[in-house]
Chain A
Amino acid sequence: MDPLEIDEPGRKVLLMGNEAIARGAIEAGLHFCAAYPGSPSSEIMAALSRVAPHFGHYTEWSTNEKVALEGACGAAYTGLRAMATMKQNGVNVAADILTAMALAGNPGGLVLVVCDDPGGISSTNEVDTRNYARLADVPLLEPSTFQEAKDMVRWAFSLSEELELLCMVRSVTRISHARGVVELGTIEKLERTPVMKPEQRYGSLPPCPNHAEVKAKLRRAGEIFETSPFNRYAGPEEPELLVVTCGTGWWYSTEAIQMLGVADRVGVLKLGTTWPLPERLLKRHLEMASSVLVIEESDPVLEYNLKALLYNEDLQAVAPSRVLGKVTGTVQGVYGPGVGEMNPNVVADAISRALELEAPSLPKSLKSSMQSEIDFELPKREVAFCPGCPHRASYWVMKNVLRLDGRDGLLIGDIGCYTLGFGRTGYYMSRTMHCMGSAIGFCSGMGKLERFGFSQPTIAVVGDSTFFHACLPGLVNARYNSSSFLCVVLDNSATAMTGFQPHPGTGKNALGEEAPKLSIESLCAGMDIPVQVVDPFDVPAATQILYRALQKEELQVVVMRHKCAVLQGREEGLPARRVWVDAEKCVGEQCGCNCFCSAAFGCPALIWDEQKGIAAIDEVICSRCGLCTELCPGDAIRITEEEPRP
């Protein structure tokens, strides 16, 4: 049985943090959830979609985060309980509606779950979206454990209804992408009839009285937070050092204090409600401590907010003599304060500094003793396109086309699996890597620079999911302003980077049901942009089409379409064939091909047999796509078709 469907309050189950968030929404009687995939948030929607037939709630993969949040708002306007989930970058996309709609409020519970990625483990940045709670004037909850992830999301719905205001819940990678034991609660079944009555009107205008109303709601939130069970203290009555923390910082602080053996000197005030801050609660604890250390990730948001509060009349009298954190440089990892993830060691260092401990005795790793004996370099493991990935073929073609063209053409990249074109696996071809859709905007600008003497042709590389998410306005702009460049859509039929979620071009919805399939070609044709489609595995045809398109002096689109190899493997299994190196034909380094397959083309499944001095195939990872058999200049790689397994 799916753990999310278990209706036994009190039962303990192992849940991924994102599943705990999904369960919290289910327990709150969720009606509607919309999301755009992005690590580390994607599994919330995946989990909710998995159990949607059981509970009857609606889920959708929206085309982008702004639409997702707007969809959830729409449901909340009719009185239903709605949620939108996204990664930190997504909030930037949704910020326009977030900051506007908060001014007018919502009758049904509306929760925005954001999963931040401190350290940028699977992101292009480590933006701290807690800043948005302040910016949009919405209450903010931060779970410290898997249990709290579930319980807080559940509570966020009733809080949102009590305040008639969107409530934001902020998770991070180490909660979302971790697993732990969660005790299940009761599942509320909310039978509501959605309706928007004539007197219901939600407009941000006029902002000034509306803004005052939302500020009043926030003050009420602050009052509610004063007694929230998500805020709690553990430690001595009058601690020498008071750690004020939130999110994962609580876990790391607790462990660090234990590691240092300073439990009798240090207390921990864990805050689950971090905007607005519960002032009276803080006052009670600040009175007891002379030093405060703030532990959080990744920006010093709590630290700044706490410090600002200390100048309030009520708190001035109890202000501790020292408030330490990232601003003071007390908390810092290898990259310095305010940069990167926290962990128990970073926090232990910070506590040692705050207590001025001399040489704290912490367990040492083997690093220093081993490093002095290592007489070799540990090779860096760079991420790579998977074996059989169509993007490798596309980048191979684009690399050759730009070389053939000979005008120092630029490949302007974007966000998706093909982002890896920035690195070795994409031959370092990609020259930019920022946010979804930006390649189109960049090229749209660069395509108008001829008058200044700019003569390098540009290829904007975007993915299929990105195309629907953020490329349409950019293409409209380029077409309208007659900008000239080649837009290549790498269509692998999935939002592959984040876990193969469907998108409007796949013909499937979040539940895996048939859905209208939007055609990239038709959309381009609708904008009068010349568009062609080619399979990147047909290297000669793709090279010719791309080369010709690059010579045109107007906006062109070429869709390079081939299904993601991992997705293909999941849906159909590996093809019943064997790809192998013909030892008679492969003459190794005598060939003159310069180890073309492994060194130049760079598929991770093409390895080198040191003993025989020839190429080899790693059968554990080979996807059996067979492209290498066409590219090998010595014609030494073979495919043998085998009987399919019964």
Chain B
Amino acid sequence: MTDLRKDPFNLIIAGVGGQGNILASQVVAQAALMEDLNATIGETYGVSQRGGSVMSHVRVTAGTPVGPLIPQGQGDLLVGFEPIETLQVAMDFGNPQIRVILNPRPVYPIGVLSGDLAYPPIDRILDLLQKHVADLKTLPATDIAKEAGEIRAMNLVMVGALAATGLLPMKKESYVKAIQDQFRGRTLEINQRAFENGYNADPSERA
């Protein structure tokens, strides 16, 4: 049995529809299962195929599984696929001990594109996060994914970075095996490479 630093360990993946949030959370949960841990995933997506917010709660436990929703302020690790989504989730589920890994590339809401709303400066978002969370790291995951051969494999780059933090106790091989179980053919090849590149990337303290 693998040791958890906290039980349940509460991971949140925050992003928008189409970013592969749910697949990322499944890979993490499958990796946990391979090491005889339990995992519950709560997914909030609604009609998010259409560009809405997506949030996955992944709750890893050594013993009895817990419910699919993390209580307010009880997140342990926040993996952000998009800056404002991450900020919003950090406010609701963050606490001074939470750690954050963020892809700082924005996906603009249509209200911003129409000119009615403004997207806040990324630096301001990072400043706020940095001040309030225990640790903030950023990773240009979209660029890394592009180098891996598929810009949309950003989710697996972020899973790689998450695995490399060692905050969850699963071995790298378990993630790799989970990816192999999940994908086939060219998609598998690209996702493996994306995961590997994310794992080896050195997330910076500040973009």
**A259 close to B132 (CB less than 8 A):** no
A234-252 CB mask vs B (1 if < 8 Å, else 0) is: 0000000000000010011
**A181 close to B33 (CB less than 8 A):** yes
A433 CB to closest chain B CB, in angstroms? 12
CA distance A61 to B42 in the complex (A): 27
Cβ-defined partner of A370 (8 Å) among B16, B53, B90, B112: B90
Please list the residues of chain A having a beta carbon within 8 angstroms of any beta carbon in chain B.
Answer: 12-14, 39, 121-122, 145, 174-175, 177-181, 248, 251-252, 254-256, 259, 343-345, 348, 362-367, 369-371, 373-386, 417, 420, 424-425, 497, 499, 566, 595, 598-599, 602, 604, 606-608, 618-621
Contact of A178 with B84 at beta-carbon distance under 8 Å, contacts A345-B72, A366-B73, A370-B128 already known: no
**A599 close to B51 (CB less than 8 A):** no
Contact of A379 with B111 at beta-carbon distance under 8 Å, contacts A122-B47, A370-B128 already known: yes
Interface residue B93 (Cβ < 8 Å from any Cβ of A): yes
Cβ-defined partner of A377 (8 Å) among B33, B48, B107, B118: B118
CA distance A378 to B84 in the complex (A): 7
**A602 close to B41 (CB less than 8 A):** no
Q: What are 20 sample pairs from A and B whose C-beta atoms fall under 8 A apart?
A: A121-B46, A175-B68, A179-B26, A179-B41, A251-B66, A345-B72, A363-B74, A365-B95, A366-B91, A370-B90, A373-B131, A374-B128, A379-B109, A381-B52, A381-B109, A383-B51, A497-B47, A599-B114, A620-B142, A620-B152
Chain A residues whose CB sits within 8 angstroms of the CB of B74 once the complex forms: 363
Contact of A566 with B84 at beta-carbon distance under 8 Å, contacts A363-B72, A381-B16, A619-B151 already known: no
CA distance A646 to B130 in the complex (A): 45
Cβ-defined partner of B49 (8 Å) among A362, A380, A566: A566
**A380 close to B92 (CB less than 8 A):** no
Cβ-defined partner of A595 (8 Å) among B46, B48, B115: B115
Shortest Cβ distance from A595 into B: residue = B115
Q: Apart from A383-B48, A383-B50, A602-B113, what are 20 other A-B pairs with CB-CB below 8 Å? A: A122-B46, A178-B41, A179-B43, A180-B40, A251-B67, A255-B66, A256-B71, A362-B73, A366-B96, A371-B91, A373-B131, A376-B120, A380-B117, A382-B111, A383-B46, A384-B51, A417-B50, A598-B115, A599-B115, A621-B107
B121 CB to closest chain A CB, in angstroms? 8
**B109 close to A382 (CB less than 8 A):** yes
B184 CB to closest chain A CB, in angstroms? 13
**A14 close to B33 (CB less than 8 A):** yes
CA distance A380 to B50 in the complex (A): 14
CA distance A13 to B26 in the complex (A): 12
Chain B residues whose CB sits within 8 angstroms of the CB of A499 once the complex forms: 49
CA distance A252 to B26 in the complex (A): 22
**A380 close to B109 (CB less than 8 A):** yes
**B40 close to A179 (CB less than 8 A):** yes
B151 CB to closest chain A CB, in angstroms? 5
Contact of A367 with B91 at beta-carbon distance under 8 Å, contacts A386-B49, A620-B152 already known: yes
CA distance A43 to B35 in the complex (A): 27
Shortest Cβ distance from B151 into A: residue = A620
Can you list the 6 inter-chain pairs with the closest CB atoms, starting with the nearest?
A251-B67, A365-B73, A178-B68, A379-B117, A179-B41, A376-B120
B29 CB to closest chain A CB, in angstroms? 6
Contact of A348 with B109 at beta-carbon distance under 8 Å, contacts A376-B118, A384-B51 already known: no
Shortest Cβ distance from B42 into A: residue = A178
**A367 close to B92 (CB less than 8 A):** yes
Chain A residues whose CB sits within 8 angstroms of the CB of B109 once the complex forms: 379-382
Chain A residues whose CB sits within 8 angstroms of the CB of B107 once the complex forms: 604, 618, 620-621
**B120 close to A382 (CB less than 8 A):** no
Shortest Cβ distance from B30 into A: residue = A14
Please list the residues of chain B having a beta carbon within 8 angstroms of any beta carbon in chain A.
Answer: 16-18, 26, 29-30, 33, 38-53, 65-69, 71-74, 84-85, 87-88, 90-96, 98, 107-115, 117-121, 124, 128, 131-133, 142, 151-152, 154
Cβ-defined partner of B90 (8 Å) among A366, A604, A606: A366
Chain A residues whose CB sits within 8 angstroms of the CB of B16 once the complex forms: 381
Chain B residues whose CB sits within 8 angstroms of the CB of A39 once the complex forms: 46-47
B139 CB to closest chain A CB, in angstroms? 15
**B67 close to A598 (CB less than 8 A):** no
B187 CB to closest chain A CB, in angstroms? 11
Chain A residues whose CB sits within 8 angstroms of the CB of B93 once the complex forms: 365
Chain B residues whose CB sits within 8 angstroms of the CB of A381 once the complex forms: 16, 51-53, 84-85, 109
B81 CB to closest chain A CB, in angstroms? 11
**B114 close to A363 (CB less than 8 A):** no
**B49 close to A344 (CB less than 8 A):** no
**A344 close to B94 (CB less than 8 A):** no
Chain A residues whose CB sits within 8 angstroms of the CB of B128 once the complex forms: 370, 373-374
Chain B residues whose CB sits within 8 angstroms of the CB of A181 once the complex forms: 33, 38-40, 65
**B71 close to A345 (CB less than 8 A):** yes
Shortest Cβ distance from B119 into A: residue = A379
CA distance A259 to B66 in the complex (A): 13
**A385 close to B71 (CB less than 8 A):** no
CA distance A616 to B67 in the complex (A): 43
**A420 close to B115 (CB less than 8 A):** no
Contact of A384 with B110 at beta-carbon distance under 8 Å, contacts A14-B29, A179-B41 already known: yes
**A369 close to B73 (CB less than 8 A):** no
A450 CB to closest chain B CB, in angstroms? 37
Cβ-defined partner of A363 (8 Å) among B69, B73, B110: B73
**A180 close to B68 (CB less than 8 A):** yes
CA distance A119 to B124 in the complex (A): 32
A613 CB to closest chain B CB, in angstroms? 14
CA distance A563 to B72 in the complex (A): 41
CA distance A12 to B71 in the complex (A): 26
**B68 close to A174 (CB less than 8 A):** yes
A179 CB to closest chain B CB, in angstroms? 4
B136 CB to closest chain A CB, in angstroms? 12
**A382 close to B40 (CB less than 8 A):** no
CA distance A402 to B49 in the complex (A): 29
Cβ-defined partner of A378 (8 Å) among B26, B88, B110: B88
CA distance A632 to B69 in the complex (A): 45
Chain B residues whose CB sits within 8 angstroms of the CB of A382 once the complex forms: 51-52, 109-111
CA distance A417 to B87 in the complex (A): 28
Chain A residues whose CB sits within 8 angstroms of the CB of B115 once the complex forms: 595, 598-599
Shortest Cβ distance from A255 into B: residue = B67
A282 CB to closest chain B CB, in angstroms? 24
Shortest Cβ distance from B92 into A: residue = A365
Contact of A344 with B50 at beta-carbon distance under 8 Å, contacts A12-B33, A370-B90, A599-B113 already known: no
Residue with the highest number of chain A CB atoms closer than 10 Å, among B42, B90, B117: B42
